């Protein structure tokens, strides 16, 4: 029986019972409120929709996700609702920026930096910024940039140059920042995670600027650990979602769109080019990723009936596939309820 049918049945039973009580109560005592008023005042205390959903949604069955690895978790109970190769360490590309975001937001919370601080642009950040086809906002060394502007660029349009600049602002060098990324991964118990840069580009794409590992090394995590990182990040810094569900922003006179095509109202021109309708009600983030090594990936989050879910899709073949496969997971939840 679907969730909506159960709620309807409950209401019918309640109405019948309520009518019986009214019919057999003290008829001499005046009724001060109408039956409908009393009913709807009582429903919120009688039906805790969120609690009901938490107990009602079960692990998804008969769903085939076409990706190297995938996971869906209930962010509140941490229950795994779908899994495929979830403990296999693999390249994650720009989904690495979730760990970068964690350290940056922590630095802001601890007053190491503030949203309004100026951020200098090093030769490294400038070089990455002007090398196609890397995601960037074309930083200029003579311009002034604020922490907030660069953080938005990192999380909305996956700007690599902004990520490097912020890392250098906080720790002086990207190497020091990456060492902290690995330290934090260890503290969180992530045995299948390892970072060599802040962006996810991989050392081969950093030219002479890479400082950790070998030329062939890339950032790697497992689907399970990516989902857990996303869960912790949202729990500790919920205001991050105000940024990750932003459709577009402007920087240097240019408009940049969110790389998350599942956001409702995302009018990125690429959606028309690929003839895809991927907008999904309730999606609030979180981070895309792509390199040749990683394929197309997406760490997403959605709220359905007041319950948050987190998904990870790793290594799909085409740019839209990561969202199509994510949509299968979200529809799996909705099909159970409705």
CA 299, 193, 83, 306 dihedral sign is: negative
Q: Is 97 a catalytic residue?
A: yes
Strand arrangement, sheet containing 80-84: 80-84, 69-74, 307-316, 295-304, 283-291
The answer to whether 113 and 147 have CB atoms below 8 angstroms apart is yes
Active-site residue, 268 included? no
pLDDT at 21 over 70: no
The answer on pLDDT for 95 being more than 80 is yes
Query: Average pLDDT of 66-82?
Result: 97
Spatial separation of the C-alpha atoms in residues 280 and 283, rounded to whole Å? 6
Least confident of 29-43, 184-198, 225-239: 29-43
- Catalytic residue list contains 248: no
Q: What is the pLDDT of residue 37?
A: 38
Residue 40 has pLDDT above 50, yes or no: no
- The reported pLDDT for the residue numbered 266 is 79
Model pTM score: 0.86
Kindly list the structural domains of the chain, giving each domain's residue range(s) and its CATH number in brackets, ordered by start.
57-337 (3.40.710.10)
**Active-site annotation holder among 100, 122, 136, 158:** 158
Catalytic residue, candidates 68, 84, 94, 169: 94
- Could you say which of 84, 97, 169, 327 is catalytic? 97
pLDDT in tens, 253-310: 899 999 999 998 876 555 666 667 789 999 999 999 999 999 999 999 999 999 999 9
């Amino acid at each position: 029986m679907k969730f909506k049918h159960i709620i309807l049945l409950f209401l019918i039973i309640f109405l019948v019972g309520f009518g019986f009580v009214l019919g057999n109560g003290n008829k001499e005592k005046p009724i001060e409120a109408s039956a409908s008023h009393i009913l709807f005042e009582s429903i919120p205390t009688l039906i805790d929709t969120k609690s009901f959903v938490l107990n009602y949604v079960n692990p998804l069955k008969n769903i085939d996700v076409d990706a190297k690895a995938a996971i869906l978790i209930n962010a509140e109970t941490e229950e795994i609702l779908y899994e495929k190769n979830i403990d296999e360490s693999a390249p994650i590309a720009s989904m690495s920026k979730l760990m970068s975001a964690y350290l940056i937001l922590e630095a802001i919370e601890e007053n190491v930096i503030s949203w309004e601080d100026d951020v200098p642009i090093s030769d490294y950040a400038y070089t990455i910024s002007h090398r196609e086809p890397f995601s960037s906002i074309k930083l200029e060394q003579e311009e002034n940039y604020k922490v907030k502007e660069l953080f938005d660029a990192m999380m909305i349009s996956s700007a690599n140059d902004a990520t490097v600049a912020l890392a250098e602002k906080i720790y002086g060098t990207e190497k020091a920042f990456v060492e902290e990324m690995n330290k934090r991964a260890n503290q969180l118990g992530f045995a299948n995670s390892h970072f060599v840069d802040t962006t996810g580009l991989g050392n081969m794409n950093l030219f002479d600027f890479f400082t950790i590992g070998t030329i062939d090394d890339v950032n790697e995590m497992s689907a399970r650990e990516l989902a857990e990182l996303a869960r912790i990040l949202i729990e500790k810094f919920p205001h991050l979602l105000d940024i990750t569900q932003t459709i577009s922003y402007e920087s240097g006179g240019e408009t940049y769109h969110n790389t998350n095509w599942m956001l409702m109202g995302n009018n990125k021109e690429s959606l028309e080019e690929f003839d895809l309708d991927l907008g999904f009600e309730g999606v609030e983030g979180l981070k895309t990723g792509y390199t040749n090594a990683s394929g197309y990936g997406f760490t997403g989050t959605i709220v359905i009936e007041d319950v948050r879910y987190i998904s990870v899709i790793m290594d799909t073949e085409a740019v839209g596939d990561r969202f199509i496969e994510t949509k299968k997971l979200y529809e799996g939840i909705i099909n159970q309820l409705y």
